[in-house]
Structure 1
Amino acid sequence: MPVTYGIVGTGWITDSWISAASQSGKWELVAIYSRDQEKGNDFGSKHKCSTVYTSLDQFASNNAMQAVYIASPNSLHYEQAKQMLEAHKHVILEKPATSTVAELDDLFRIAKQNRVTLIEAFRHTQEANFKLLERTANQEKRLGPIYGASFQYASYSSRYNNVLNGETPNIFSLDFAGGSLVDIGVYPVTFAVALFGAPKSQTYVPFICRTGVDGGGVIILHYDTFGVQINQSKSYTSTAPCEIYGEKGTITINATTDISTIKHWNPQTKETTELAGSYKTVQKPFVNMEEEATEFARIIQEDDTAAAGELEDLSRAVLNVTQELRRQNGILYPADKAERETTSETLKRVILPV
């Protein structure tokens, strides 16, 4: 039986998820939440779902719904996911899952308490070619000791035009927990952490937009014996490939998402070998989410706590990195400020006499 689910968020990424979930045959859409009834009805009509709510409380109480896919503005993720988990719904939460590690820890605690599954939707780490790359990067015969890596995801956003025109789109808003790092920079950061584990430390030199968030910049992840350079941005475009440098060769990948080529260059023979398997193309504006939809349904249906635990560890490690990079550069969200105020009040109660 498919996993019955509802959606929160009616943007283009939700269209992609619904399409991919349908193609996988593992999911059935049964409910939609939208703040606007007319918009919700239009979205439901497009996806043949007539059950539309404008109340999250009513939405969460739908007993026919086993899971919820959340793709709302970043700053709303924590509260919405918390409500769904407390209603005993599995949650697929678009990246970034939350603004802070404290919020993420709380959500995973609630999920375990209610015996449901929480998964952050890192679609690219579920691609078949990424899994092949993961195996390749750990093969001594292919790379030998790793000396470094360079990963890219820099793509000029049409919404940056709005920023230049004096507007503040949600994705470029501090109040909505936006910025390039958490929107697309998280892809190459996750790419690195999934391949090499959590770094020892990290640094970031960002370009700060007029709105106070980062428009892009260069990240260095520091490992014991090598570094990873990441170039990411929503305010400029890079056409450079991604590379992993080893003693026994160099791996070149076309991108950190939608991997279609994985080439190994052998420094001894000077030969290049294509390692990637077949790649599924998806008609734009959709993106490939079928592999993640299939795997996430399997984890839920089989109650695969081991696989869910690995994804939890990845989410926490990635958020530790991005949170630190933001805070290094004074990019603070409402959740950061609330966390600091709570800590300050706690210290006052401990230090000051009654």
Structure 2
Amino acid sequence: MTSRPLTSLPTPRTPDPQDAPPLRWGIAGTGGIAANMVGAMQQHSRQQVVAVASRQQQTADAFADNLGIEHRHVGLEQMLADDTVDAVYIASPHSEHHAQALAAVAAGKHILVEKAFTRNAAEAREVVAAAREQSVTALEAMWTRFLPHIDILRQLLADGALGALTTVSADHGQYFDEDPDFRLFNPELAGGALLDLGIYPISFSSFVAGTPQRILALGDRAFTGVDGQVSMLLQGEPGTAQSVINTNLFARTDTTASIVGRQARVFLASDFYAPTTLTYRHRDGSELSYDGGAIRGHLALVHEAAHLAQLVADGRTESPLLPLEETISILETIDEVRRQLGVTLPGE
């Protein structure tokens, strides 16, 4: 650990997604994030999207026609019986992740499951146990972990370049019209700010500061009863960094993040969880920046798909960049926050 300012930032070690060996993918879900992922894989990798599953044939056909996918299935079970599928990207509402992930694992498919991995930690433990039993690769699709600017931050933290950490700050709020059928307001679909938006800053805090031992939460519900606005304080052992986190469904926030150390600080511009500018500023006022890399916007989703494909090629069932135990611990944090707020979901 040094008090001297850096003269250059580390070079990101993020692999070129084109270098990952191809897997044959099936897509569970036909929403916007699924379309973004398919487009990202098709444009920036050798991954092969061969199938899609939807509850209705018409929806599956429209999605496949638009993106050039050969096999169209009604229901996940039909797609899981498709021998051309090696891995499944689960992009359905949170309420479906647990059952769909278990079904895919039972069929021997590798899984990339959109965040939040499941509704709660108990469901995540079941999926993780099943994946380990079947020796398939499982990964939470928290794309932030696999981006170049985050690898720079990873190296800065490993090198102690910021000094002892004091504060981590991150926020994620978006405006949505109050539609009770919209998935983020719908309890039946495991709606709420925490599982869809808040998980980004919570996962970021976990990445930077580790698993919290102390959690304080204050929040308000949306009109449907799901968590609508939440502020959190997270801390490990006393004397370690404190994380200040906000999320809400009611208004667009800055969606920035910062890490403050005794020697230097790092600021991640909006949107911190996507490819963006990282700025390092030493306490002497000197400053260095990284612009976020060549692959921008939702096309950067390709990094997580390529990462899973490389894990499979290497015979690894879990990622060192986002271990399954950390995925579980992040959901344990969310479980505790919801407990403090008195928010439960149907079926929990």
Whether these two folds match at TM > 0.5 is yes
Do the aligned residues in 2 keep the contact of 1:154 with 1:238 (CA within 8 Å)?
yes
The range that moved more, 24-33 or 96-105, is: 24-33
- Cross-structure match for 1:128: 148
| 1:279 and 2:297 correspond | no
Q: Once the 2 structures are TM-superposed, how far is the Cα of residue 210 of structure 1 from its aligned partner?
A: 0.6
Instruction: State the partner residue of 2:193.
Output: 180
- 8 Å CA contact 2:146–2:321 kept in 1: the answer is no
The worse-fitting range, judged by mean Cα deviation, of 287-296 and 73-82 is: 287-296
1:151 aligns with 2:164: no
**Percentage of identical aligned residues:** 25
2:145–2:321 Cα contact (<8 Å) kept: no
Quote the offset at 1:310 in angstroms: 4.7
Residue identity matched to 2:178: N
Counterpart of 2:135?
115
Quick check: 2:265–2:282 contact (8 Å CA) kept in 1?
A: yes
Name which of 251, 263, 267 aligns with 2:279: 263
Of the candidates 46, 61, 67, which is equivalent to residue 41 of structure 1?
A: 61
1:229 corresponds to: 244
How far apart, in 2, do the equivalents of 1:250 and 1:227 lie?
14
Q: For the residues of structure 1 that align with 2:299 and 2:249, how far apart are their CA atoms?
A: 18
Q: 1:61 to 1:331 in 2, by over 3 A?
A: same
**1:243: Cα distance to partner?**
1.6
1:294 to 299, 306, 323: 306
Q: Distance in 2 between matches of 1:110 and 1:183?
A: 24
Q: Which moved more, 1:19-28 or 1:83-92?
A: 19-28
The residue that corresponds to 2:182 in the other structure is 169
Cα offsets for 1:165-189 (capped at 9, x unmatched): xx33122111111111110110111
- Paired residues of 2:137 and 2:308 also in contact (CA < 8 A): no
Pairs aligned (count): 325
CA root-mean-square deviation? 1.9
Deviates most, 8-17 or 111-120: 111-120
CA deviation after TM superposition for structure 1 residue 308, in Å: 5.8
- Distance in 2 (CA, whole Å) between partners of 1:176 and 1:335 is 11
User: Larger C-alpha radius of gyration, 1 or 2?
Assistant: 1
SS of the residue aligned with 2:184? helix
Following TM superposition, by how much is the alpha carbon of 1:309 offset from its aligned partner in structure 2, in angstroms? 8.7
SS at match of 1:334: coil
From 305, 321, 327, give the equivalent of 2:339: 327
> How far 1:313 sits from its partner (Å)?
2.0
Aligned to 2:269: 254
Residue 20 of structure 1: which of 32, 40, 49 is its match?
40
1:192 is the counterpart of 2:224 = no
- Distance of 1:35 and 1:308 partners within structure 2: 34
Deviations 1:120-158 (A, max 9, x none): 100011001101112213333x321111121122222xx
Residue 104 of structure 1 and its aligned partner are, at CA, apart by 0.8
Residue in 2 that maps onto 1:207: 220
Task: Measure the CA separation in 1 of the matches of 2:259 and 2:321.
Answer: 27
1:205-256 CA-to-partner distances (Å, cap 9, x unmatched) read: 1221110011222111112223100122221122273221111122211143
Matching of residues 329-344 of structure 1 within 5 Å:
329-336=341-348
User: What code does the residue aligned with 1:301 have?
Assistant: A
Check the 8 A contact 1:4/1:67 in 2, yes or no: yes
Residue 90 of structure 1: how far off its partner (Å): 0.7
1:27-63 alpha-carbon deviations (Å, 9 max, x no partner): 2111111111111111111111231111332221111
Separation in structure 2 between the aligned mates of residue 14 and residue 306 of structure 1, nearest angstrom: 22
Residue 257 of structure 2 is aligned to residue 242 of structure 1: yes
Counterpart contact for 1:171–1:177, Cα < 8 Å: yes
Give the whole-Å Cα distance in 1 for the aligned partners of 2:118 and 2:318: 22
In structure 2, give the amino acid aligned to 1:238.
Answer: T
CA displacement at 1:70 relative to structure 2? 0.7
Structure 2 distance, partners of 1:306, 1:15, is 25
Structure 2: runs of 5 or more not aligned: 1-20
Query: What SS is found at the alignment partner of 2:229?
Result: strand
Contact 1:117-1:308 within 8 A present in 2 as well: no
Verify the 8 A CA contact 2:90 2:112 in the aligned structure 1: yes
Assess if the C-alpha contact under 8 Å between 2:50 and 2:69 holds in 1.
yes
Deviates more, 1:180-189 or 1:307-316: 307-316
Specify whether residues 220 and 287 from structure 1 end up closer, same or farther in structure 2 by C-alpha distance, changes over 3 A only.
farther
Which residue does 2:17 correspond to in 1? none
Task: Find the aligned partners of 2:95 and 2:129 in 1 and give their Cα distance.
Answer: 19
The code of the aligned residue for 2:285 comes to K
Partners of 2:202 and 2:96 in 1: CA distance: 22
Alpha-carbon deviation of 1:288?
2.2
Alignment partner of 1:216 is 2:226 = no
Q: Unpaired runs of 5+ in structure 1?
A: 337-354
Between structures 1 and 2, the one with greater helix share: 1
Offset of 1:306 from its aligned partner? 5.6
Q: Secondary structure at the match of 2:188?
A: coil
